[in-house]
């Protein structure tokens, strides 16, 4: 993992700094004996020390940036997942305004955009976590449920839009029989949609709950998940 590489590099940098100090002062004592160091000696030693210190600071900043990016993508994925759960998978189409289907069309488009955003955010998580890391595993479960939900939207949402527009037109006509038929078709389209979507939404909710547990642990650092994974891989259990 990149995190381990950066940490190792910082340790090596500190070691190099010690080596530089020992090397220069050792050579100085051998060659100069007890003579006082010249200004040139001191300047050269100082330059080397500052160069190593700058390298260590750069590596430390890389490690800090790496940790911040890990947190950023974990939280971005969580934010998108919450939006998916509460704004897409818990919606009531009866609450949509009668605006010639514009709100329904915007819902369908925004669903697709949100699913694509979740896929992108998940791919960033893949970059920062091993394949068997609980955060990545649970993020994948959440994403798979979101993609299944998007598939239902593609196959079933067209019926929602058509029957909703027909229902509005029927009410505007004032014809009782036409209204009854339109309402029946609308109810049938809604039932077909939610019969497929409801179990997916339940799976999504459960997976998101598990993901949140591991995100909280990761952010609090109460449980060193990375160490657990490394230890399990080493022992083969």
Has residue 57 got a pLDDT over 70?
Answer: no
Q: For residues 45 and 24, what is the distance between their CA atoms, to the nearest angstrom?
A: 7
pLDDT tens across 147-182, in order? 999 999 999 999 999 999 999 899 899 999 999 999
Residue-level pLDDT at 33: 47
Q: Produce one character per residue of 81-120: b if its CB has 16 or more CB atoms within 10 Å, e if not.
A: beebbeebbeeebeebeeeebeebeebbeebeebbebbee
Q: For residues 12 and 1, what is the distance between their CA atoms, to the nearest angstrom?
A: 17
Measured from the Cβ of residue 161, the count of other Cβ atoms closer than 10 Å reads 16
Q: Average pLDDT of 125-146?
A: 96
Residue ranges covered by each domain of the chain: 71-235
Give the predicted TM-score (pTM) of the model.
Answer: 0.71
Q: Average pLDDT of 44-54?
A: 67
**Average pLDDT score over the chain:** 81
Q: Average pLDDT of 47-54?
A: 66
State the residue for tokens 């004996």.
Answer: 33
The share of the chain scoring above pLDDT 90, in percent, equals: 56
Residue-level pLDDT at 221: 75
Residue-level pLDDT at 27: 54
Please, are residues 110 and 91 in contact by the beta-carbon 8 Å criterion? Answer: no
Q: Average pLDDT of 100-122?
A: 95
Q: Average pLDDT of 221-232?
A: 55
Half-sphere exposure of 29 (CA within 13 A, CB side): 5
Q: Name the packing angle between helices 39-83 and 176-220 (round to 10°).
A: 150
| 91 against 232, higher pLDDT | 91
Q: For residues 237 and 232, what is the distance between their CA atoms, to the nearest angstrom?
A: 5
Residue-level pLDDT at 233: 53
Residue-level pLDDT at 22: 56
Q: For residues 109 and 32, what is the distance between their CA atoms, to the nearest angstrom?
A: 78
CA-nearest of 59, 86, 210 to 139 is 210
State the residue for tokens 């200004």.
Answer: 39
pLDDT tens across 197-226, in order? 999 999 999 999 999 999 999 998 744 555
Residue-level pLDDT at 89: 96
Q: For residues 29 and 17, what is the distance between their CA atoms, to the nearest angstrom?
A: 18
Has residue 196 got a pLDDT over 70?
Answer: yes
Q: 230 pLDDT band (50/70/90 cuts)? A: low
The share of the chain scoring above pLDDT 70, in percent, equals: 67
């Amino acid at each position: 993992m990149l995190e381990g590489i950066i940490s190792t590099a910082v340790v090596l940098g500190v070691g190099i700094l010690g080596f530089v100090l020992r090397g220069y002062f050792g050579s100085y004592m051998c060659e100069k004996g007890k003579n006082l160091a010249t200004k040139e000696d001191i300047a050269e030693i100082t330059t080397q020390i500052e160069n190593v210190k700058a390298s260590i600071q750069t590596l430390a900043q890389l490690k800090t940036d790496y940790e911040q990016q890990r947190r950023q993508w974990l939280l971005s994925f969580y934010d998108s997942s919450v939006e998916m759960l509460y704004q897409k998978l818990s919606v009531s189409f009866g609450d949509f305004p009668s605006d010639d289907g514009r709100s329904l069309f915007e819902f369908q488009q925004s669903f697709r955009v949100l699913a694509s955003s979740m896929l992108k955010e998940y791919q960033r998580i893949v970059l920062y976590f091993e394949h068997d890391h609980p955060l990545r595993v649970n993020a994948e479960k959440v994403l798979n449920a979101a993609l299944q939900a998007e598939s239902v939207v593609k196959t079933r949402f067209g019926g929602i839009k058509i029957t909703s527009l027909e229902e509005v037109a029927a009410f505007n006509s004032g014809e009782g029989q036409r209204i009854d038929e339109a309402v029946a078709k609308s109810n049938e389209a809604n039932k077909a949609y939610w019969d497929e979507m409801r179990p997916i939404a339940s799976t999504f909710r459960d997976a998101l709950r598990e993901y949140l547990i591991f995100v909280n642990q990761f952010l609090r650092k109460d449980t060193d998940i990375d160490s657990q994974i490394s230890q399990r891989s080493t022992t083969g259990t």
